[in-house]
A and B are shown apart, each in its own frame.
Chain A
């Protein structure tokens, strides 16, 4: 058993809506538990508002969770004071979605990439300069960009700068929040290939947040699917993409159009009706029940607990799947 780099347990994050919006509590994340193992890429997949970005922000402590615990390399960082957190911060880094707004337009590329080194004050100026050059090269940029400003770079180049900034401290854990969503297909391919290569050579673990299923399938070792602040299914890439059990995962997989007209036009379409309910009033019972084709009375009353589908850690939260599994066990 490999060690977990990140363990999130029963994470809960509530926001208070502004007073003019009723001042009620928005339950962005409700009871999320997950683990990222050493050297693994875990995909956190979900639609807008499912809470996936909030989980990422809690992990890097940009947000202080309402409840639950976050352990990094065995140490509880949930409520750790900043002074103690500081050395750990260098080991957890984040890459953001928008390469346009996440880089300071008044800094040159070398200043941007050097900033984490400066903030942690662990390197001499000369060491830092060398490290910056090596990292910039590592992410596939030429040395010529070092003195340029972000506005002189393309979207793909900027995202490489964002990656260099995150990786210059050689973190153990990278939180990547939709890093390729703003990029065009031809540019995206380069960043995805680069991420695969960097992960293999540097060996960091990664929590990869995305709404794009094909990107998750390409990149991730394991995948967790979120809906309305909860993880409804988690498993290896093969389990989630090849043998999904949760009705939400299945409909997500069925909804994403395939870039092949023969396959796309011959597939069964099971379209999930309606829209995700508000995170202010999540429905009682299973959060999918108002939209779920399989929902029965129990689903509207009782929240489903985790059901183990396979020994490897394929877990689903669904009453109906649990019933099916019980039936399968009884038959055999």
Chain B
């Protein structure tokens, strides 16, 4: 498969009252054509900032360095005008909270129409027809009627579908989904996941999925990158990551998860706790950021920063003392 998006050594520094925060540290990523890559981590790990940095949607004083190559062009160097033509057309993004990312004073039809006008030059009847087609694509019933609705007249699930419809308006090559189902109930989430799965098959686009939910990852992703404190700590094919994680943080997350079939009463079943707190991104030492919380850490972990290195085929880990290889693990 050909590489569609390649991110190399992305570094993002944000500024606030207290000084500088290194929100993303040397993250490299690649998304191939037709591939779904999940970027996973807990609050504050830098996954959303990474996505926003790709499209230069961060505040103007944010310092971004590295290379983001999309179809042979470096998005970080591109003049803003050319970047604008790519945003929304070749790369579209769906955010977590559909209520705040839709404009409350325009109808859904207006908002989808705007994208079609800007990027495709469609107007009037043509634009309306295409917009209604898009709503059908995300399984919104009676689309003509819905086009006339304002965001507040739709439920959360409907709004998220409308957002996806808008993102699909120009047949993007890459769809960035930032926590697309986090604000939704499980039955609505299941509907949205089903739509995304179906769209991906039919339209063959690539997806960068940003989420904290390992269930959603297990459902959709081909490959997974795990982030911790601004760095990518592990990267593997999805089955491999769940069956045989090598980074102690990934392994810990999987053991901390209450899962179907895990019960407190059974055989003293306990969830694994990861002791301590996520470090402050202000003054990270040149060491493994997870070391203070890590059950496997040794002396050397606190005086050198482990780089991401291949440990097996299609599997990379940033750890000096990774979890042992699980014999016979899938695949």
Alpha-carbon gap, A215 to B186, bound state (A): 14
Do the beta carbons of A259 and B259 come within 8 Å of each other? yes
B42 partner, pick from A184, A193, A259, A269, beta carbons under 8 A: A184
Residue A275, interface by CB 8 Å: yes
B218 contacts A258, C-beta separation under 8 Å: yes
Binary flags per residue of A180-208, CB closer than 8 Å to B gives 1, else 0: 00001110111011001000000000000
Q: Are A190 and B258 in contact (CB under 8 A)?
A: no
Given A186-B42, A186-B273, A275-B188: A257 in contact with B258 (beta carbons within 8 A): no
Q: A211-B186, A259-B215 are in contact. Are A192 and B260 (CB under 8 A)?
A: no
Q: Contact at B273–A260, with CB atoms within 8 Å? A: no
Q: Which has the most chain B C-beta neighbours within 10 Å: A196, A253, A257?
A: A257
B193 at the interface (CB under 8 A from A): yes
Q: Which B209-239 residues have a C-beta within 8 angstroms of A?
A: 212-219, 221, 238-239
Q: Measured between alpha carbons, how far is A257 from B264 in the docked complex, in Å?
A: 21
Give the distance in Å from the alpha carbon of A265 to the alpha carbon of B330 in the complex. 14
Residues on A with beta carbons closer than 8 Å to the beta carbon of B238: 261
A214–B259 contact, CB under 8 A? yes
Report B-chain residues with C-beta under 8 Å of the C-beta of A215. 258
Q: Quick check: A271 and B260 within 8 Å, CB to CB?
A: no
Q: Please determine whether B219 and A265 come into contact, CB atoms closer than 8 angstroms.
A: yes
Are A217 and B42 CB-contacts (below 8 A) given A189-B274, A255-B187?
no
Which chain A residues border B155 with CB–CB below 8 Å?
A: 275
- Among A193, A252, A253, A254: residue with most chain B CB under 10 A: A193
Q: How far is the CB of B321 from chain A (nearest CB, A)?
A: 19
- Does any Cβ of A come within 8 Å of B117's Cβ? no
B-chain residues with CB within 8 Å of residue A154 when the two chains form the complex? 277
Number of chain B interface residues as a range? 35 or more
Give chain A interface residues in 101-150, CB to chain B under 8 Å: none
Q: How many residues of A contact B (CB 8 A)?
A: 44
Q: Looking across the interface, which residue of chain A has its beta carbon closest to that of B262?
A: A218
Q: Which residue of A lies closest to B224 (CB)?
A: A261
Partner of B257, one of A254, A256, A259: A259
Q: Mark interface residues in B150-181 (1 if CB within 8 Å of A CB, else 0).
A: 00000101100000000000000000000000
A258–B256 CB distance below 8 A? no
Collect the chain A residues with CB atoms within 8 Å of residue B129's CB: none
The reply to whether B215 and A271 form a contact with Cβ atoms under 8 Å apart is: no
Contact B212 A185 (CB under 8 A): yes
A251→B219 CA distance, assembly (Å): 16
- B interface, CB within 8 angstroms of A: 42-43, 155, 157-158, 185-191, 193-194, 212-219, 221, 238-239, 242-243, 252-254, 256-265, 269-274, 277, 330
Interface pairs A-B: 7 shortest CB-CB = A257-B215, A255-B190, A189-B271, A189-B256, A186-B274, A218-B258, A47-B185
Binding site for B on A (CB under 8 A): 47-48, 154, 156, 184-186, 188-190, 192-193, 196, 211-215, 217-219, 221, 237, 241, 251-265, 269, 271-273, 275
Offer 7 A-B interface pairs, CB within 8 angstroms, sorted by A. A47-B185, A48-B185, A186-B273, A256-B190, A259-B215, A272-B190, A275-B155
